[in-house]
Amino acid sequence: MRHALAVPIALALLLTVGANSASAQPERGLVYVVSQGLCYETFAAADTLPDHGPFQLILPSTICGPGTSMTMFGPGDPGYTGGRWVRPDGTHFLCPLVGGGSPPPQ
């Protein structure tokens, strides 16, 4: 499958990515959810998305660690769009938030 250039660039800028493993698990990053005060794991689930429909703003942040991201709403919050993100430059991509979330590192 061809990957759009925007998604790998977006992930490189937005997500802290762990070391590659031999498994087929997608690379993971972290996103801080302001409304919950928690860091959630995420992964790239789609290489392209049409630019219509509901999207949620995601911004660079260091709250969950260097190179991570932040957004206002997460799982269970009104306004969470299931990981359909838009960056300030207009790039759209899909990276759902997974797990129960954990407090940011001290």
The DSSP string of 39-85 is EEEEE--BS---S-S--EE-EEE-TTSTTEEEES--TTSTT--SSEE
- Span 19-51, pLDDT tens digits: 444 456 667 899 999 999 999 999 988 767 888
Q: What pLDDT does 28 receive? A: 86
pLDDT over 50 (residue 12): no
Predicted confidence (pLDDT) at residue 61 exceeds the cutoff of 80 = yes
- Predicted pLDDT of residue 50: 84
Task: State CA 6 to chain mean position distance.
Answer: 14
Determine which of 11-15, 50-54, 67-71, 73-77 has the lowest per-residue pLDDT on average: 11-15
> At residue 47, what are phi and psi to the nearest 5 degrees?
-85, -20
The mean pLDDT value of the chain amounts to 81
Determine contact, residues 90/49, Cβ cutoff 8 Å. no
12 residue type, one letter: A
